[in-house]
Amino acid sequence: MNDLIPHLFRTEYRKIVSVLCRRFGFHEIEAAEDIVSDTFLTASQSWGIQGVPPNPVGWLYQVAKNKAKNHLHRNMIWQQKIAPGIQDNAAFSDEADIDLSAQNIIDSQLQMMFAICDPAIPVESQIALSLRVLCGFGIEEIADAFQINKDTVNKRLLRAKEKLRQAGIRIEAPEPAEVEARLQPVLTTIYLLFNEGYYSVSRNKALRRDLCLEAMRLCTMLIENPQTDQPQVNALLSLMCFHASRFDARLDGQGELVMMEEQNTDLWNSDLIGKGGYFLRSSAKGQTLSRYHLEAAIAYWHTVKGDSFEKWENILQCYNQLLQLHYTPSAALNRTYAFSKVHGKEPAIREAEKLDLKGNHFWELLLGDLYTGIDDQKAQVHFRNALTLAKTETEKQAIRKKMNVII
């Protein structure tokens, strides 16, 4: 039972909370969370004495239903002041109103995803609230993921909930005509959630992997719904599959970062690479070309082993298009590295110096790499700058390794 309840909390908390929030609205989100937490506390106490029931999930659902009904019975003012503004005015005392069927759970989670990813709250709050409500992460886990303290997480969550209430955000499916526009902030949140795991400063490997898997699960939910099975959604899942395929090769046994060119390709996950290819092909329907299409294509070419001209020329062309569509400093730096592989280091140095991204340790690191073998003294200066600016010990170890090669 010691392992069962934490596992069920991770898988079922988000489902029950989403259903209750959909029924109650954001005005009662704390009540929904309290009901579900209390359900698991009851399970811990009851199962410890009476043993685990034959159907643990069904037991949790029934207890949560009963607690939700009791809450609504005790709180008659809820019906008087809040219910008129909710989707319909059904009597909440009826057990059928707490619908924990498989389809309603899926619908509720999708609608909750769109509500949480509303631009009414900042992106970092969207991610934190997604981790808590849609992924079932505890406060300590969220704090670890963001490398902040628990008080900050709690304040961030409270502010996000209050803003959603003040903005009158409803937990409902977007109208068909609104799907395209409403989908963009959802995809951004999923993308950033994945990046929190893949590029996490946390040394907790299990947490980092869980963040990535949760982002992929949320994206898969969108693909499984005909209304949100859009080309850019498939492209994003493709991108995440390609990146996740290299997860085991990115760190060595000591937890130090391994550069892509030094990774053991035998550790790459071929199943995920295959899935990435499938979703990339699925994303090709229609006329849409999103940043996720181009980033997924770049990620695909990185799974092609070897250092051929064709590989880097394709990567460079994808970056050229990406920068026109969605400029970011990191994309500009990565494009410059690809440029060096196609045109050589000296032209790439000129390209890099034009970017003038002083204060960016990746820019310093790139120049250190490009100057290595051409002007090792300059390379060391840039590596030292990168070392000063780097935020994590993992990155610093990788930079020191590059400096030691020159020495």
pLDDT digits (tens, 9 = 90+) for 323-334: 999 999 999 999
Widest Cα–Cα separation across the chain: 77
Torsion angle of alpha carbons 38, 40, 45, 51, nearest 10°? Answer: 150
The chain-wide mean pLDDT, for the chain, equals: 90
Nearest CA to 13 out of 31, 32, 30, 27 is that of 32
Nearest CA to 402 out of 363, 374, 366, 352 is that of 366
Question: Given this model, what pLDDT does residue 144 score?
Answer: 85
Question: Given this model, what pLDDT does residue 145 score?
Answer: 81
Question: Given this model, what pLDDT does residue 88 score?
Answer: 47
Name residue, tokens 């080309």.
231
C-alpha–C-alpha distance, residues 23 and 360, integer Å? 46
Helices and strands (H and E) in the chain: how many: 19, 0
Are 394 and 203 in contact by the 8 Å Cβ rule? The answer is yes
Are 308 and 338 in contact by the 8 Å Cβ rule? The answer is no
Amino acid making up residue 288: T
C-alpha–C-alpha distance, residues 78 and 59, integer Å? 27
* Token representation of residue 250: 């990115």
Question: Given this model, what pLDDT does residue 79 score?
Answer: 57
**Least confident among 176-185, 296-305, 356-365:** 176-185
C-alpha distance from residue 57 to each of 18, 40, 70, 81, 100 (Å): 16, 11, 20, 33, 11
Are 322 and 295 in contact by the 8 Å Cβ rule? The answer is yes
C-alpha–C-alpha distance, residues 268 and 264, integer Å? 8
Q: Output the DSSP codes for 217-272.
A: HHHHHHHHSTTT--HHHHHHHHHHHHHHTTGGGSB-TTS-B--GGGS-GGGS-HHH
Assess whether pLDDT exceeds 90 at residue 338: yes
Amino acid making up residue 389: L
Assess whether pLDDT exceeds 80 at residue 201: no
Assess whether pLDDT exceeds 70 at residue 80: no
Q: At what angle do helices 56-74 and 29-50 cross, to 10 degrees?
A: 130
C-alpha–C-alpha distance, residues 18 and 88, integer Å? 17
For the chain, give the percent of residues with pLDDT over 70: 92
Q: At what angle do helices 231-244 and 270-282 cross, to 10 degrees?
A: 160
Sorting pLDDT into bands at 50, 70 and 90, what band is 1? low
Torsion angle of alpha carbons 225, 227, 230, 236, nearest 10°? Answer: -40
Q: What is the pLDDT of residues 233-252, one digit of tens each?
A: 999 999 999 999 999 898 78
Are 124 and 156 in contact by the 8 Å Cβ rule? The answer is yes
C-alpha–C-alpha distance, residues 308 and 338, integer Å? 12
Name residue, tokens 């950033």.
192
Assess whether pLDDT exceeds 50 at residue 92: no
DSSP run (H or E) holding 385: helix 376-389
Residue ranges of domains in the chain: 1-100, 102-201, 329-407
Residue 375 neighbours by CB under 8 Å, 6+ apart: none
Q: Phi and psi of 382, rounded to 5°?
A: -70, -40
CATH 2.60.40.10 fits 329-407, yes or no: no
Per-range mean pLDDT, top range of 85-89, 249-253, 358-362: 358-362
Q: What mean pLDDT comes out for the span 102-128?
A: 93
